[in-house]
Amino acid sequence: MRKILPLKVSVSGVRGIVGESLTPQLAARFVSAFGTYLGQGQVLVGQDSRPSGLMLKKAVMAGLLATGCQPVEVGLLPLPTILFLTKKRQARGAVVITASHNPFNWNGLKFIGQDGLYLRSSEVEEFLDIFHQGEFTYVPAERIKPVLSEKEAGYLHLRRIFSQIKVKEIKKKKFRLVADCANGAGATLLPRFLQELGAEVRFINTELSGKFAHQSEPTPENLKELGHEVRAFQADLGLAQDADADRLALVDEQGQPLGEDATLTLSVDHVLSRKKGPVVVNLSSSMVIEDIARKYGVRVYRTKIGESNVVEKMLETRAVVGGEGNGGVIWPAVHPCRDSFTAAGLILEKLSSFPGSISQLMATYPRYYLLKDKFDCPAELAFKVVTELRRRYQQENISTLDGLKIIWGEAWVHLRPSNTEPIMRVIAEARSPEKARELLERFKGEIEQILKQMS
Amino acid sequence: MKPLKLSVSGVRGIVGQAITPELIINFASAFGTMVPAGPVLVGRDSRNSSPMLTDGVISALLATGHEVIDLGLCPTPITQFLVKNKGARGAVSVTAGHNPASWNALNFINSQGTYLNEFQGQELLDIYHLGRFKQLALKKTPKIIRELNPEEPYLEWLLGRLDLPPIKRAKFRIVVDPTNGAASKLIDKLFDLLGVQLIAINNEGNGYFPHDPEPRPRNAIEVSSLVKITTADIGFLLNSDASRLSLVSEDGETLSEEYTLPLIARYYLKKQPGPVVTNLSTSMMIDQVAREQNLPVIRTRVGQSAIIQAMLEEKASLAGEGSGGLAFDYFQPAFDALVTMALYLEMMAVEGEKLSTLVKRLPRYHIVKDSLVCPAYRLHTLVAEVKKLYKGLEINQLDGLRLEKKDLWVHVRASTTEPLIRVIAESTSQHRAQMEVDRVMAYLRRLTA
């Protein structure tokens, strides 16, 4: 097993351990490269609640100022809010000081481009080339701009969502909710958001000390506390944001987690019921999306894993809704990015128009079972495994867009070598848990056999 | 060529060329690594680039585990005063003093409130070059304390040390040009407390320099005309961090910055007798004043760090340079133009004399300065070559070459701030001083041709 390196550079930015790999020098160099890449203009600067955020922010400011950009401090705000504001303010880009759900001692920088979109892979390449060449465009002293600071900017994002959903209908229902902010930046805006939707809400994990009460992956384990609170509070619904507040997981009125795909399922159905148009989801999202799309007679596009891939395809196909099965809902009517606030708004609106509980609503959709697993597999072998399996299954309906996905009517399996770790992910979905388990085991067995043959 | 100058007490250069965020963070990290854990002050002048440098400095100090007391816009002498006042481990003052607006610098100040001495400066450079900086995991959000009125304890201290009643009785009218630097606005408070009618220009603190922020006659033309129009008692011109001062007399004469030291020396040394420290390039006027009171003059290398180090070692009463930076032992071991202005007013009030009269009492010397642009790597070899011109004469090599002939001295040295060789000569005769400078310059030009 390869050692986990304390510094990671990926399409969405850089992450590292403060005091080891993520130094103010490194931050300033990355931001100087980013400022050089963007050219001079306004750049939003946001951060999460980690204690090292202040130190890194100062280094980020120095890098932006030196390259002639005008930093606009927006402070502690959810990621989708910062993406939205980048477009709203017509800024050149944004830098967010966050390491999402990584442990406490980590931090990182996320780089956001024009129109509030993540950089495309070709753009990332260009930006990283500048970083590696180390030739930054510093401006002379007289062209250094003053720092701006925006307070209350977050509300603009909420107002945008309110303008797109039926606030009155939702208010009428006087929902009882429990919301878990996972000690993330969502806590800065979610109380106000739900309050203005007329809901009575119990909040958990809203302290922004930079320490996380639980991991933000929406596993049953991490949703336990929320489920318990939902029962105790006799709530209609439980909402769980992740640390960046871009994804949303749901717990029904009985305190049961609704499964990863529920958020996207409900949102896609609801948006399509209001406006028909193409849908874009990644390869690992549930087949229920196709079922829903068929109902409205619209097309589904599948993309590689990764938010920026989904967004790119959505903009290209003028999709009305899209997202990822892990709770990331993208509704371009608000902003083309994963947004837990948008998702919460859509789901509450959907629920307000349904004469029953959330579990009854979920029962109206075809039920699928999604199982995930991963196992160690060195990157160079992963490629060979995928090639061999593709040869074996070439008669089937396959997609090689991202690893290998094999689809049989009402079931599929997706094999994907990870970009960041020496592991292979296997995801299987079917109409019954047994069938999904059987598929998963079958492919694990095949892969193990191929690996044995090769070594 | 990106001019970057390292001196014992800091790093200086043109912003965007030598001065980059990474360089700033590296130097401030070296400083943060060198000083023991505890609060560090950060002050800055009004330059457009100063907030950028300040952000870099603060991030490095936080990363190396320090609590930061952010003084905002603050003259260097006040930052230096506050180090002891606040019990800080040290300070960083972001300012390029007298350099043009395109420049900036970090000035490192030790726990005694003085510029780093040569040993501390060497240690800083060693840590910088080694590149192994202290790095904390930052498990708790580090503290930045924003000091909104850093000047208050300083002004209280300063007033307590002045002979106030005569100053107040004199009801002076003065003209001050703080060059839109760090002392802007603050001078309103200071002179209000001294009961002085202040006419201020370039008092916005916005970093727009209407002239180079160097106190010298060619930049004092506005002050001079205002002194005449308003019949003021004196005019003052500051640099961007209020560490240097030049004077305009009540008749509007723009006095060379060489006068700032000797004009106050007679009065101050009478009150506080003791040795005087100055550098090798400063006018002989100070020797005459010291001789009258039987006090020694000690000459050192150029620069605040060397001067103050000598001042402390020799227990000197007064230290200063021909550039207009003065430190008074009774006040603090730092070049302080605010103290200097206040003392000038005290002297004028107590002695009841006009500045022009005091000027006339000093011997008239003529100082001639010239400089030659030369590649940085040849600076010191070329300076050494000049020795050949003065065979048989005793040469002081503390800082370049300095030698004395009858009624004349000449000093040839490499600049610490620019790739220049400076040639300075002083004599009672303008002609002889000029001849000597010309001779050295001609020799140097032949060597570089």
Q: What is the CATH number of the domain that holds A441?
A: 3.30.310.50
Name every chain A residue with its beta carbon within 8 A of the beta carbon of B103.
Answer: 141
CATH architecture of B153-361: 3-Layer(aba) Sandwich (3.40)
Where does a domain end: A362, A386, A407?
A362
d(CA B88, CA B67): 9
Tell whether A375 is covered by a domain. yes
Please tell me if the domain spanning B4-148 has the same topology as the one spanning B153-361.
Answer: yes
- What are the φ/ψ torsions at residue A368 (nearest 5 degrees)? -120, 160
pLDDT band for position A384 (cuts 50, 70, 90): confident
Structural domain span for residue A327: 156-362
Cβ–Cβ contact B131 with A under 8 A? no
Looking at the fold, whether A143 and A198 belong to one and the same domain comes out as no
Our count of domains for chain A comes to: 3
d(CA B340, CA B318): 11
Segment A282-287 mean pLDDT: 94
pLDDT tops 90 at residue A209: no
Tell whether A427 is covered by a domain. yes
B6's tokens: 């390292």
Question: Is there a contact between B181 and B213 (Cβ–Cβ < 8 Å)?
Answer: yes
Looking at the fold, whether A136 and A176 belong to one and the same domain comes out as no
Q: Tell me which residue has tokens 């009171």.
A: B293
Question: Is there a contact between B276 and B325 (Cβ–Cβ < 8 Å)?
Answer: no
DSSP of B161-206, one letter per residue?
TS-HHHHHHHT-EEEEE-TTSTTTTHHHHHHHHTT-EEEESS-S-S
Looking at the fold, whether A297 and A397 belong to one and the same domain comes out as no
Cβ–Cβ contact B101 with A under 8 A? yes
A425's tokens: 């992910």
d(CA B102, CA B15): 6
Question: Is there a contact between A192 and A199 (Cβ–Cβ < 8 Å)?
Answer: no
Interchain CB contacts (distance < 8 Å): A and B: 125
Question: Is there a contact between B199 and B230 (Cβ–Cβ < 8 Å)?
Answer: yes
Looking at the fold, whether A92 and A170 belong to one and the same domain comes out as no
Looking at the fold, whether A401 and A304 belong to one and the same domain comes out as no
Task: Please write down the HEC assignment for all residues of A52-74.
Answer: CHHHHHHHHHHHHHHCCCEEEEE
Strand partners, A407: A397, A412
DSSP of B82-111, one letter per residue?
HHHHTT-SEEEEE--TTS-TTEEEEEEE-T
Distance from CA of residue B342 to its chain's centroid? 17
Q: Which residue of B has its CA nearest to A147?
A: B51
Tell whether A81 is covered by a domain. yes
C-alpha dihedral sign at A68, A74, A80, A85: negative
Looking at the fold, whether A346 and A430 belong to one and the same domain comes out as no
Looking at domain B4-148, its CATH superfamily turns out to be Alpha-D-Glucose-1,6-Bisphosphate, subunit A, domain 3 (3.40.120.10)
Choosing from A12, A49, A100, A286, the catalytic residue is: A100
Split chain B (449 residues) into runs of 10 and give each run's mean pLDDT.
Answer: 70 93 97 97 97 98 97 98 97 95 96 94 94 90 92 97 97 98 97 98 94 95 97 98 97 96 97 97 94 96 94 97 97 98 98 95 92 88 92 90 91 85 94 95 91
Three-state secondary-structure class, residue B356: helix
pLDDT tops 60 at residue A3: no
Question: Is there a contact between B340 and B264 (Cβ–Cβ < 8 Å)?
Answer: yes
A219 Cβ neighbours under 8 A, 6+ residues apart: none
Share of chain B above pLDDT 70, in %: 99
Share of chain A above pLDDT 70, in %: 98
What is this model's ipTM?
0.90
B138:A62 CB<8 A: no
DSSP of B8-58, one letter per residue?
TTEEEEEBTTTB-HHHHHHHHHHHHHHSPSSEEEEEE-S-TTHHHHHHHHH
B50's tokens: 């100063």
B397: DSSP letter = -
Question: What pLDDT is attached to residue B3?
Answer: 66
The CATH number of B366-448 is 3.30.310.50
d(CA B263, CA B356): 10
Q: Where do the structural domains in chain B lie, given as residue ranges?
A: 4-148, 153-361, 366-448
Looking at the fold, whether A376 and A355 belong to one and the same domain comes out as no
B1's tokens: 């060529």
Q: How far is CA B88 from CA B28, B40, B42, B182, B334, in A?
A: 16, 5, 11, 21, 16
Q: Tell me which residue has tokens 């002004």.
A: B155
CB burial of residue A90 (10 Å; 0-12, 13-18, 19+): exposed
Radius of gyration of chain B (CA): 22
- What are the φ/ψ torsions at residue B109 (nearest 5 degrees)? -120, 135
Which residue has better confidence, A216 or A115? Answer: A115
Name every chain B residue with its beta carbon within 8 A of the beta carbon of A63.
Answer: 21
- Of residues A58, A140, A141, nearest to B55 (C-beta): A58
List pLDDT tens digits, range A233-269. 999 999 999 988 999 999 999 999 998 899 999 999 9
Question: Is there a contact between A332 and A319 (Cβ–Cβ < 8 Å)?
Answer: yes
Which residue has better confidence, A363 or B10? Answer: A363
B81's tokens: 């005063």
Where does a domain end: A151, A172, A192?
A151
List pLDDT tens digits, range B153-174. 999 999 999 999 999 999 999 9
DSSP of B291-333, one letter per residue?
HHTT--EEEE-SSHHHHHHHHHHTT-SEEE-TTS-EEETTTBS
Residues shown for chain B: 449
- Reduced DSSP (H G I as helix, E B as strand, rest coil) percent helix, strand, coil of chain A, to 5: 40, 25, 35
Strand residues in A258-315 grouped as ranges (E): 279-282, 300-303
Question: What pLDDT is attached to residue A1?
Answer: 40
Whole-prediction pTM: 0.91
Of A382, A364, A365, which Cα lies nearest the Cα of A374?
Answer: A382
Question: How many helices, marked H, and strands, marked E, lie in chain A?
Answer: 15, 21
Looking at the fold, whether A174 and A78 belong to one and the same domain comes out as no
The one-letter amino acid code at A349 reads: E
Number of alpha carbons in the 13 Å side-chain half-sphere of residue B401:
22
Looking at the fold, whether A216 and A67 belong to one and the same domain comes out as no
Q: Give which of A144, A147, A211 to mutate to test B binding, by max B Cβ within 10 Å.
A: A144
Tell whether A315 is covered by a domain. yes
For the ranges A99-113, A415-429, B207-221, the maximum mean pLDDT occurs at: B207-221
pLDDT tops 70 at residue A5: no
Tell whether A18 is covered by a domain. yes
Of A32, A37, A52, A71, which Cα lies nearest the Cα of B24?
Answer: A32
CATH number for the domain harbouring residue A162? 3.40.120.10
Question: Around Cβ A323, how many Cβ atoms within 10 Å?
Answer: 31
Looking at the fold, whether A259 and A382 belong to one and the same domain comes out as no
Look at phi and psi of residue B240 and say left if phi exceeds 0, alpha if psi is from -120 to 50, else beta.
alpha
List pLDDT tens digits, range B259-306. 999 999 999 999 999 999 999 999 999 999 999 999 999 999 999 999
Tell whether A242 is covered by a domain. yes
Looking at the fold, whether A28 and A71 belong to one and the same domain comes out as yes
Q: Are strands B318-320 and B276-279 parallel, antiparallel or unpaired?
A: parallel
Tell whether A337 is covered by a domain. yes
Question: What pLDDT is attached to residue A165?
Answer: 97
Where does a domain end: A116, A151, A186?
A151
Q: Give which of B45, B55, B62, B132 to mutate to test A binding, by max A Cβ within 10 Å.
A: B55
Q: Tell me which residue has tokens 């948006």.
A: A271
Tell whether A341 is covered by a domain. yes
B349: DSSP letter = H
Name every chain B residue with its beta carbon within 8 A of the beta carbon of A23.
Answer: 63, 133, 135
Q: Which residue of B has its CA nearest to A29?
A: B22
d(CA B294, CA A251): 91
Strand partners, A240: A180, A249
B239's tokens: 């640099």
Looking at the fold, whether A120 and A146 belong to one and the same domain comes out as yes
